Structure 1
């Protein structure tokens, strides 16, 4: 695959608030996705915020992609889409506690402290 025609960030892109151990160790990104985000992330963030103007065809397409006018067509845009979803999207938490067992009063009526011999 050819490299995207996007300016390489002068410094690596790191999001310590959402991915404290880095993109590679998060378990959410493949190695190639993590490398793309690290290499181009600051440029993409600057393009998204309007700090940089697009200077190439790929950067112009990225601007259309983030505005919702185009689909992600290259690996960089797909990695950015995944990053935005994970970093800015709503996190879902799952527990082992079921809502049926949460009503403890149903179980308190069956037992009293006198039934147990506590030494």
Structure 2
């Protein structure tokens, strides 16, 4: 695995709101992606918000990537892109049956009185 010239974070990055059991157990990230996010996520988050200034070339490239100037080029940027998409993107829910879509299939003259349930 390539090492990145990004400052080490004092604590591991954890997003309990979106990934309550951690990145590794979420099923959304590979083991290497989860390790990268845990190790560098706090610094990447601060670089993204601007609360931390980029010092190294890798950090400057990450800031350019986050601003949309350049595409994701390394595994760290691709893992961050995936994290942002999953954590901040819109969740899609699919149902097998929707009463709203099938409301026209029911007869208006149907009643439960026709059946003896006792």
**TM-score with structure 1 setting the length:** 0.91
CA deviation after TM superposition for structure 1 residue 8, in Å: 1.3
2:110 corresponding residue in structure 1? 111
Secondary structure, aligned partner of 1:94: coil
| 1:114 CA displacement | 2.8
Q: Which runs of 5+ in 1 are unaligned?
A: none
In structure 2, what is the Cα distance between the partners aligned to 1:37 and 1:20?
A: 14
Q: How far apart are 1:110 and its partner, in Å?
A: 5.7
Q: How many residues align?
A: 117
In structure 2, what is the equivalent of residue 20 of structure 1? 20
Q: CA deviation at 1:100?
A: 3.5
Q: Does 1:45 align with 2:45?
A: yes
Aligned-residue offset at 1:29: 0.4
Q: What residue ranges of structure 2 are gaps of 5+ in the alignment? A: none
Structure 2 partner of 1:89:
89
**Aligned Cα root-mean-square deviation (Å):** 1.5
In 2: Cα distance, 1:38 partner to 1:71 partner: 22
Distance 1:96 1:67 in 2: 39
Compute the displacement of 1:51 (Å). 1.4
